[in-house]
Amino acid sequence: MRNPIREFVPDEILSKLRAHRLLDEKQLRDYHIRQIFKGAREQRLSAADAIEYVQREYPYLQFDTIRKIVYKK
């Protein structure tokens, strides 16, 4: 996975954190999913189409799972 938090943490530091298992990979994935969804909505896709767009990058996740991730407060 690319660095979904590049704006906060440089690639090199993220690699070191991952190597030492100091990150919650699920939370990184969920953050990335929310960023993709937000970008798709900014492109004026409907919510359902934006979720399907996310699903192309994460095909192992169900539609409802992605919906829960993007609408989690």
What is the residue type of 47? A
CA dist 27 and 11 (Å) reads: 17
Assigned domain for 32 exists: yes
Going by pLDDT thresholds of 50, 70 and 90, the confidence category of residue 41 is: very high
Assigned domain for 10 exists: no
Task: State the residue range of the domain holding 43.
Answer: 24-70
> Given the structure tokens 């906060």, which residue do they identify?
8
What is the tally of structural domains in the chain? 1
DSSP 43: T
Mean pLDDT of the chain: 95
Query: 3-state DSSP helix/strand/coil percent for the chain, to nearest 5?
Result: 65, 0, 35
Closest of 59, 60, 54 to residue 31, by C-alpha: 54
In this prediction, residue 2 carries a pLDDT of 84
Assigned domain for 14 exists: no
Assigned domain for 17 exists: no
